[in-house]
Structure 1
């Protein structure tokens, strides 16, 4: 079903300039892209003016400042993969035509970390290098000259392949790789052999050498490259590289080292053709990738979130109630209630803002409302300001959620069970379960705590959340488990925090609910930047 009302949540489409000072990404590069209007990025003594469609790639380790003009939106984006196969060692200007907008906005959405699963294999670095307007400062970056091996097609083998491509240094055993996708080592080996013509070991070596060739292409030294792709010594790396390419790494670097100074040519750099690739293939590769279908994990959060369908459509489930959203709709995902989102290919859902838990306050009467058609630019500005450090000097992060709730109160109808006296007990119990997820009290004990009959509490939980107590509690625990795994805690630490006697028991429950183990989830079940530019 769909419950919605048309609303005008924004008093004005005018908005102030945004600023981010002294940003320095220690681990990841970033792409500062002018979505609309204009601004500039200052890196040391160099100032890069950006107009709509322009972007500047900033390598990790460089401090920079961002300024957007009034009524303009600049978006800081991080790479889609934790370790891109193409690296850019210098600030690199490029320009994207409007048909790239959706893909770039999707990249920002991925960096926030709310979408399920690993990011697409084609990262931002490769796209920047491949864009016709790419002009690296000083020297162009050649395309990879050593091709990647063919990808396997089986779901399990494909997931393992993606893992190894995103992190060539991954040294997990075949047994560990197989366990991560819930198949036997023998099955995984058979899938790779029949679908790629290589054993897993051979396939991994090919990926490592292809990645190494790219690193050498852009000027990294051999010792550094060897470590990045998983070799303990330069000698071992040299032997593997020679066997795969027929030349040593040093000879390869000399052969590929002829570069053109763009200041002398006065032209923009187009991506050179890869080995064996026709010009038609290269042209197709420059077409924007399709935004893939995506979804979130089922979750019960301890904070409210307001989300907006930027492009396409979305299927949102809140406490068992289905809402079919179309482009321009916004949905309130209340704290304490189970929710999930499914997005078809080409669709993008963006968070507009969040609000801390206040279980004494009722949820909005209307959970879905529609923004006016001309509000898009202001909403993008709000989204960037709330989920990055690029924001106006005076900024209220809760203005958008407060406006949504106020408008709901004006246009809404009775919320029924959500605002009944039953809801007070459910909100209080949700707060307790989030505060102490290891608490092992059962429904009867919680009913005693709230001085009501167990049957009354059970009925209230079902009417408010759409599910029974055990399932609801499990979703809260799994939501908190994912959050702690994303923070880098070990499986044993997460198990202890959630009240499991043994890590193995927690791992079984997590794997059954997610289709992958806790360790596999940490490696590829989610994607979020490690840099502090994005702030929840």
Structure 2
């Protein structure tokens, strides 16, 4: 389907017990992390919590499946802690966006070209009052449903519908949430939506945008629920997050290294734009794109939010030119975890102690995800046949759709139908459906309501259009508008 679900995040483990040269904050954004000091009992860090480790601390770290744990440098001891002792503290949800930005700004080895400024050398952890994500169920149908809702919080299915989706009974799903999280399904979904909305507000989204993105039908209902959870209005929460971000202000900007890349570098453009030159051409990626740049590329501009996912030598990977794939917003947690897994010693358990940092097997999960997304991007295009008669038939049909004219060709001679099947791999009927869906995607991404899109692509009833769109893409028109960004753009010449 078009908006495909990311693979599950596996458990991770420190490549080898580490001895810190500088203080470290281990922040658990989602899931559960365990830390052991020496031969002692492991300490548990749940979502929304962090552990401050002073320099010289010997430790081992591992996380449970589904967990996103991020190592952060450049912080002073948290309030109430001391510089020579391990300290645990809560990290409120409104700080999440700033902490992710801080992780991005840290730089990775010799590849600090991605950032326009150097990371901070010291600072203070922002600790305004707040609450993080609810705990994830550990296993079974409840975990599968929770992961889907974490990725796509606006999905509006009843518990019974979710039970059908997860192939279990409603009672099984209800018990799974209650026993594994201590919350009812409804309460868990509400808290998860509000935590996601808090991240959006902290990143600069307006209250109405955050409400719609997490499935609230009205801004008023969203504001009431948000204030009950965080004891702040959405506007005040966003203002407090902005104030917290100022405590993580970066050092004065320094000119980035603009020399050619020595390795193949895969970059996730979290926001903004990336521009690079290779073989005399300009190549670009924008928000939610992952761009794979071959060695020899010269980066002309990169937003501070750009994040490396893979850095591999030319012997490990051969790239003839830059490549690009666009990932839906539901992939954000997975992509952050992927960056941690390839740029730090906190690696997937199957790689524990096996491969050096730049070995291709350590990056296979990132490369496989990129290739799968590239294939999905290709499937979005509707190929035109080259046979003159079939091509004329195709163009007549497409003109009839764009002109809101229903006189387009619906039946075609046998030789034209055979040309469609031979040259596009689709029957003429299937090709017409794919063309309608392509036009529908473009209209939806331009913000046209689905009720207005339906007649413009040949459907007299909105319900029939919604069913056809859902069967074709695996997601409904309204969900598509929420989770898909702007229409695909070509790499710039």
TM range (shorter): 0.3 to 0.5
Query: TM-score under structure 2 normalisation?
Result: 0.43
User: Which protein, 1 or 2, shows the higher relative CO under an 8 Å CA cutoff with sep ≥ 6?
Assistant: 1
